[in-house]
Amino acid sequence: MIIKPRIRGFVCITSHPKGCEAKVREEIEVARSAKKEGGPKKVLIIGSSTGYGLSTRIASAFSHDAATLGVFYERPSMKGKPASAGWYNSVAFEKAAHEAGLYAKSINGDAFSDEIKADTIEQIKADLGQVDLVVYSLASPRRTDPKTGESYKSVLKPIGKPFTNRTLDTDKNEVKEITIAPAEGDDIANTVSVMGGQDWELWIDALNQAGVLASGAKTVAYSYIGPEITWPVYANGTIGKAKKDVERAASAITAKHNCSAYVSVNKAVVTQASSAIPVVPLYISILYKVMKANGTHEDCIDQMVRLLNDHLYYDDMKLDDKGRIRVDNFEMAPDVQQAVADIWPRITSNTLYELSDYKSYQSCFLSLFGFGLDGVDYDEDIEIEIDMPSSN
Ligand code: NAD
């Protein structure tokens, strides 16, 4: 099949296996060039197929030679349609890990369910005995509570009053104004149920109870703070409440188990999750311009290499006053934020390409689905049904 990008709003409904592999291999090279002793050895990554979770898996394996077990919810190729990008990414990751002699297996299913937790535990018992690092990197629009069977939807809304600001219409490449109505009813509670820390706690409880969590293990979940322009819809919005709950869960896990739980506040990057948040893609486009100009720009893999090498597995974790790891430090540097704030009021559809790095935003977005990678022949007729190597 010859596969071309088919973009619908903030998703691309096709993905390219060879392009996904090329992108995974690029990240592997970054991780390989940052090899370090003393890192994690056996790592469980929940949400390991795209974005920050995938990069943490790559950094664990290729900077630290760690065995990795990945959990994700992806669509294999079906009925002549390409698989989801996360499926192809995971195929490519496993292939490269196996070539390097590293253990890598994957579990595809709903991480919020008891069943997938049980399957994961069985796999750890069978192959690894115990894990010493658990990475929690889920980004999901919904969750079914395994105990009550009730389903919740998360929403990206301000709290208390409507929020109006500029946003990017990525279909039309236009800057326009958007007004988002405030949360109502159970919006906040539902968003906390989906994106808060409860499921992370359930995972650690289950792993510990089954005896598959090594004594003194570490666990990390990801958060975002960002600049004031995004606070109404992010840090002070429904998702911000969920992220506060993740911080609560970190303290609860550390108090309850022989396992240190951390929240790492990461930089804004282009991922499937972040492209769905109003205002954020415009902010990212400006941020990339500013950070590239001053030489501090990073992608997911650079962030995750730094997280493991300079924080989680470094004598001084450099925690902030709330006990969080801050790999968003370059993004939040006052000069970077001032430069973004100076550009923000001047950004219009006419100045979009000049004042921001929207071009990079677009190419990063396409690359999430394996398009636009160097060395890939996009006119080639290729096989789209590809099995997960560890399932053979
Ligand atoms: P992403 O969309 O790239 O990845 C989400 C992952 O979750 C995928 O592996 C997907 O398969 C998995 N997933 C979703 N629902 C699942 C389910 N029910 N069962 C199993 N797996 C499931 O997202 P991302 O941007 O990498 O976000 C990961 C974390 O990083 C989130 O907590 C997010 O808030 C945080 N973060 C993101 C940014 C950013 O700019 N993207 C910045 C800071 C923090």
Domain ranges of the chain: 7-156+187-278+298-332+379-391
Q: Which amino acid is at 42?
A: K
Nearest atom within ligand 1 for CA of residue 143: 18
User: Which of 12, 44, 49, 52 is the best mutation target for the ligand 1 pocket, counting ligand atoms within 8 Å of the beta carbon and taking the most?
Assistant: 52
pLDDT confidence tier of residue 390, bands split at 50, 70 and 90 = very high
Predicted confidence band of residue 185 (pLDDT cuts 50, 70, 90) = very high
Tokens of 233: 């819809």
**Ligand 1 site, CB within 6 A:** 47-53, 71-74, 86, 110-112, 137-140, 222-224, 266, 268-269, 271-274
pLDDT tens-digit profile of 331-369?
999 999 999 999 999 999 999 999 999 999 999 999 999
**Placement of tokens 């990073």 in the chain:** 298
The protein residue whose alpha carbon is closest to atom 30 in ligand 1 is 222
| String of DSSP letters for 255-287 | HHSSEEEEEEEPPP---TTGGGSTTHHHHHHHH
Domain 7-156+187-278+298-332+379-391 part of CATH 3.40.50.720: yes
Residues 286-335: tens digit of each pLDDT: 999 999 999 999 999 999 999 999 999 999 999 999 999 999 999 999 99
Q: Which amino acid is at 73?
A: Y
Q: What is the predicted pLDDT for the residue at 392?
A: 77
Q: What is the SS3 string spanning 292-337?
A: HHCCCCCCHHHHHHHHHHHHHCCCCCCECCCCCEECCCCCCCHHHH
> pLDDT over 90 for what percent of the chain?
97
Q: Pick the catalytic residue: 222, 234, 262, 288?
A: 234
- 123: helix, coil or strand? helix
| pLDDT > 70: percent of the chain | 100
Q: Is the pLDDT of residue 21 over 90?
A: yes
As to burial, measured by CB atoms within 10 angstroms (0-12 exposed, 13-18 middle, 19+ buried), residue 146 is middle
Res 9: pLDDT = 84
Q: Which of these, 259, 274, 173, lies nearest to 224 by C-alpha position?
A: 274
Sequence-distant (6+) residues with CB within 8 A of 137 are 45, 46, 47, 48, 51, 52, 53, 56, 221, 222
| Cα of 380 from ligand 1 centre, angstroms | 31
pTM surpassing 0.95?
Answer: yes
Find out whether 117 and 28 touch, Cβ atoms under 8 Å.
Answer: no
CA distance readout (Å), 123 to 107, 230, 259: 9, 41, 20
User: Is 52 among the catalytic positions?
Assistant: no
Using pLDDT thresholds of 50, 70 and 90, give the confidence band for residue 10: confident
Residue 221, pLDDT above cutoff 80: yes
The predicted-structure confidence for 77-119, as pLDDT tens digits, reads as follows: 999 999 999 999 999 999 999 999 999 999 999 999 999 999 9
pLDDT of residue 20: 98
Question: Amino acid identity, residue 320?
Answer: D
Cα–Cα distance measured from residue 216 to residue 219, given in angstroms and rounded to the nearest whole number: 10
Q: What is the pLDDT of residues 107-165, one digit of tens each?
A: 999 999 999 999 999 999 999 999 999 999 999 999 999 999 999 999 999 999 999 99
Question: Measured in angstroms, how far is the CA atom of residue 49 from the centroid of ligand 1?
Answer: 9
101: how many CB neighbours lie within 10 A of its CB?
7
Residue nearest to atom 8 of ligand 1 (CA): 47
Question: Closest by alpha carbon to 246, among 213, 223, 273?
Answer: 223
Judged by DSSP in three states, 110 sits in coil
Contact 270, 363 (CB under 8 A): no
